[in-house]
């Protein structure tokens, strides 16, 4: 009697069962990873959309502020504001402007407007280091 006894036995083939359990675990793990990535992608898309809306709002605000800045630089607007405030200031290109040359000393520039320093302060002298040095 040379038959294979394994064929007639009631034992379960463990290697086949383990193989199918591993395949089922692999498929379920891949499905779980796929769902996690899909969920994360959905949340990142919503955050990206929110940030794009915020960036668009910032760009619109920058355009408004740039327009305000350009209008503030306007010479006509400056002249009108000075007139409205009854200010004695004059604008940059006004022919009444009297410019003082920077070659003059600070004392000569401050004296006509009454803010010259009193005493023996010499504004034209160089700064001197007064730190005592130890002799070694």
Amino acid 59: pLDDT: 96
Amino acid 124: pLDDT: 58
- Give the pLDDT confidence of 8-34 residue by residue, as tens digits: 565 667 788 889 999 999 999 999 999
pLDDT over 90 (residue 68):
no
**Better pLDDT: 7 or 24:** 24
b vs e for 22-57, b when ≥16 Cβ sit within 10 Å of the residue's Cβ?
Answer: eeeeeeeeeeeeeeeeeeeeeeeeeeeeeeeeeeee
Q: What is the mean pLDDT of residues 71-88?
A: 82
Amino acid 74: pLDDT: 80
- Give the pLDDT confidence of 57-67 residue by residue, as tens digits: 999 999 999 98
- Picking from 27, 124, 134, 87, the residue whose alpha carbon sits closest to that of residue 78 is 87
- Give the pLDDT confidence of 80-133 residue by residue, as tens digits: 887 888 887 776 677 777 766 666 566 666 666 665 555 555 555 554 544 555
Domain boundaries, given as residue ranges, for the chain: 15-113
The mean of the pLDDT values for the chain is 77
How wide is the angle at C-alpha 111 spanned by C-alphas 86 and 94, nearest 5°? 35
Amino acid 132: pLDDT: 54
Q: What is the mean pLDDT of residues 48-55?
A: 97
């Amino acid at each position: 009697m040379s038959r294979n006894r394994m064929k007639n036995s009631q034992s379960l083939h463990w290697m086949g069962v383990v193989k199918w359990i591993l395949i089922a675990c692999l498929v379920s793990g891949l499905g779980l990873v796929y769902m996690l990535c899909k969920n994360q992608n959905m949340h990142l898309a919503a955050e990206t959309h929110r940030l794009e809306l915020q960036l668009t709002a910032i760009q619109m605000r920058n355009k408004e502020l740039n327009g305000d800045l350009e209008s503030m630089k306007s010479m006509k607007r400056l002249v009108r504001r000075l007139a409205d405030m009854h200010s004695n200031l004059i604008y940059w290109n006004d022919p009444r402007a009297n410019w003082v040359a920077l070659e003059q000393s600070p004392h000569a520039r401050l004296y006509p407007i009454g803010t010259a320093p009193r005493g023996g302060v010499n504004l034209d002298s160089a700064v001197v280091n007064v730190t005592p040095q130890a002799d070694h």
